[in-house]
Amino acid sequence: MEERNIQTDLLKLQNLLNVQFKDTTVLLSAITHRSYLNEHREATWDHNERLEFLGDAVLELVVTDYLFAKYPEKPEGELTAVRAALVNTVSLSATSEQMGINEYLLMSKGEARDVGRARQYILANAFEACIGAIYKDQGYREAKEFIAGRLFEKTDEIVRKRLWQDAKSRFQELAQEHVSVTPTYETISQDGPDHDRVFTVGVYLKKVLVAEGTGCSKQEAEQKAAEQAIVAKGWDV
């Protein structure tokens, strides 16, 4: 986003968020990554890290209050796990991207080229910063409505598919439920130098290979294999 378009894009972003800010500078800070200010010393506003800190706290309170009321029978441990699944980096970055916040981020040229996990963090942090900006400018009720409209609808799927569990635990429960078998994992290959290993792990039911997963550690590869196995068996519905 070129600097000459900032005011125009702030108007578009307010429409996207469905919030009209009293002070658009706070919204501008919410979409500004620290790296942008390193390349634009003339900027007179702050980056989004403090707003992210604020938004994270508001998000946790709003989601906790919602889950506490929605699931009066669930114990604390399960509520904590469901909340974590709802507000983790993957969930928040996906919501941020679906909304189109990515188009309005102010970053350095280097950060703008980042993809994958690095971009996920930036998008998730920007989403939390926007929550912080809404809270600071509009108050708690408006921030709660914003969060509710973007995240609460995901809750039923998370609970129904038990997405709050890690993939290995979920696949083990599903395998025992459907075929009365406990999955086993075996390392199929290890590639790359010691400092940059890539592991491929297979997950088996009895001795039948169900799926494979790759990762930078055996644990990560096992989780990926379990995720793929759930899909392969059609147990993700």
Looking at domain 167-232, its CATH class is alpha beta
Backbone φ and ψ for 89, nearest 5 degrees, come out as: -60, -40
**Residues whose CB is less than 8 angstroms from the CB of residue 175 and which lie 6 or more positions away in sequence, other chains included:** 181, 182, 183, 205, 233
pLDDT at 193: 86
Paired tokens of 138? 């509009």
Mean pLDDT of 100-109: 89
Instruction: Determine whether 9 is an active site residue.
Output: no
Would you say residue 99 has pLDDT above 80? Answer: yes
**Quick one: what percent of the chain has pLDDT higher than 70?**
95
Residues of each domain in the chain carrying CATH 3.30.160.20: 167-232
> CA dihedral defined by 182, 187, 188, 190, rounded to 10 degrees?
160
pLDDT at 118: 72
Give the residue, 88 or 196, on which the prediction is more confident.
88
- Identity (one letter) of the amino acid at 10? L
**Residues whose CB is less than 8 angstroms from the CB of residue 63 and which lie 6 or more positions away in sequence, other chains included:** 83, 86, 87, 147, 151
Instruction: Determine whether 153 is an active site residue.
Output: no
Whose CA is closest to 36, among 21, 26, 44, 47?
A: 47
* Residue among 2, 9, 42, 56 flagged as catalytic: 56
Residues of each domain in the chain carrying CATH 1.10.1520.10: 3-160
pLDDT bracket for residue 116 (50, 70, 90): low
pTM: 0.74
pLDDT at 1: 43
pLDDT at 220: 87
- What pLDDT digit, counting tens, does each position of 43-87 carry? 889 999 999 999 999 999 999 999 999 999 999 999 998 999 999
* Residue among 128, 137, 222, 227 flagged as catalytic: 128
Task: Please state, as a whole number, how many other Cβ atoms lie within 10 Å of the Cβ of residue 204.
Answer: 16
In CATH, what is the architecture of 3-160? Orthogonal Bundle (1.10)
pLDDT at 7: 86
pLDDT at 149: 96
pLDDT at 3: 46
Average confidence score pLDDT of the chain: 91
Give the residue, 149 or 39, on which the prediction is more confident.
149
